[in-house]
Structure 1
Amino acid sequence: MAKLAIMWRQSVVKVFPDAGFREPVEAAEIVEAERRLGQALPTDLRQLLLESNGVLGRTHVATVWAVDQIVEQNLRFWSDETFAQLYMPFDALMFFGDNGGGDQFAFVQKPQRPDVFVWEHESDSRRWVANDLHDYLGRSLRVGGDDWYRL
């Protein structure tokens, strides 16, 4: 059975009517981002970016980053020598958003799966927080603050 296409803006507005949206990216921008990253963006993330180049949530937190930030942040996480000395490797993750306080959200790319994990910068812990991008947006944009994922 084919997965139904999600209308990302509508889905976000149902959970958080005040969400911020940007102009959509062009397909060529996604191709260029994937070239720079050396890997494809997850399908759901690609589709969301084609509707809005990122999503701003509560307190204007970049719940989903713009495509340029996705590229720049991941290239930095994957190659920064200081990070390599402080943290476990990040090469299995593709970061796409944050909580506004330093914790980052990512898809696991090796092995590729739709689940979303949080990387907590103070402890270098990585743990599951959502089944997929749709679930992540629902959880992160509901009332409860920017630390919704904390136990």
Structure 2
Amino acid sequence: MDADAWRRTLQAAADGLELRPPADAGEIAAVELRLGIGLPAELRGLYEATDGILDKPGEWFVMWRLGDVARWNLEAWNGWESGDRRRLLGFGDDGTGAPFCVALDGEPTIFIWSPIEQEARALAPNLREFWLGWLSGQITT
């Protein structure tokens, strides 16, 4: 999906959410350099549409801002998380600290990582289906 399609999709179901302004190419490149990886194409397109999604009632970023993506993934990869977490890129969370992740091997499945159990569980087959399910309440954690 391109940035315009993402914004239309998210705004249509964004009751109670605040979409941040889009991230620019320079911001995305800086995060990729800091992480030492390229963002998966689908996630890159989403960040080109919005640099984070704030859940206003819950007061948390259900989709993290790019700077937080870099910081929180580096902490997880270099910290106490298991090696399996290093194969995932977190991009948001469910409000309890369990991050939503995409695999770095190119698999489009969206996962939730359990910091307690140190394992991932599949939530949706791709990023678009994840957001449609999350925003409609069909996907919960």
TM-score range, shorter chain: 0.7 to 0.9
Whether the 8 Å CA contact 1:12–1:19 is kept in 2: the answer is no
Once residues 132 and 62 of structure 1 are traced to their aligned partners in structure 2, the CA distance between those partners, rounded to angstroms, is 20
Match of 1:138 in 2: 132
Once residues 136 and 74 of structure 1 are traced to their aligned partners in structure 2, the CA distance between those partners, rounded to angstroms, is 20
Match of 1:96 in 2: 91
User: What SS class does the counterpart of residue 8 from structure 1 fall into?
Assistant: helix
Which of residues 106, 115, 127 is equivalent to 1:112?
Answer: 106
Pairing 1:69-84 to 2, within 5 Å after superposition: 69-80=68-79, 83-84=80-81
One-letter amino acid of the structure 1 residue matched with residue 85 of structure 2: F
Asked if 1:56 corresponds to 2:51, the answer is no
User: What SS class does the counterpart of residue 117 from structure 2 fall into?
Assistant: coil
Indicate how the Cα distance of structure 1 residues 60 and 140 shifts in structure 2: closer, same or farther if over 3 A, else same.
farther
Match of 1:148 in 2: 140
> Structure 1, unaligned stretches of length 5 or more?
none
Paired residues, number: 139
The structure that has the greater radius of gyration is 1
Whether the 8 Å CA contact 1:114–1:133 is kept in 2: the answer is yes
* CA RMSD, Structure 1 to Structure 2 (Å): 1.9
TM-score in terms of structure 1 length:
0.82
Which of residues 5, 15, 18 is equivalent to 1:17?
Answer: 15
Indicate how the Cα distance of structure 1 residues 99 and 69 shifts in structure 2: closer, same or farther if over 3 A, else same.
same
Indicate how the Cα distance of structure 1 residues 60 and 133 shifts in structure 2: closer, same or farther if over 3 A, else same.
farther
Q: CA deviation at 1:88?
A: 4.4
Identity %: 26
Whether the 8 Å CA contact 2:84–2:119 is kept in 1: the answer is no
